[in-house]
Amino acid sequence: MDALPEITLAVARLTRASVAQKIWQTKFRDRLAAAAEKAGSVARKSGLSAEAAIRREILGVAG
């Protein structure tokens, strides 16, 4: 049973990484949803295609 502390530490690290990844994922989805909403608004106001609005607002690429 000498490996038990190492296994416990590994499980704790994996759990922390999993929680951090889920937090990042939630924040990313929120930011993406906000950017998509803004892109849709820009597309409606300026007559851009959905693709052009996404490029402009989400990717930051004009044209």
The pTM (predicted TM-score) of the whole model is 0.62
Euclidean distance between the first and the last CA atom of the chain, given in angstroms as a whole number: 63
- Residue 53 has a CB neighbour count (10 Å cut-off) of 21
For residue 30, CA distances in Å to 2, 13, 22, 26, 54 come to 44, 26, 12, 6, 16
Q: What is the pLDDT along the chain (63 residues), one digit of tens a residue?
A: 689 999 999 999 999 999 999 999 999 999 888 888 888 887 788 887 877 777 777 777 655
Q: Provide the pLDDT for residue 25.
A: 96
Q: Provide the pLDDT for residue 62.
A: 58
| Residue carrying the six token digits 């892109």 | 39
Give the Cα separation of 6 and 32 in Å (integer): 38
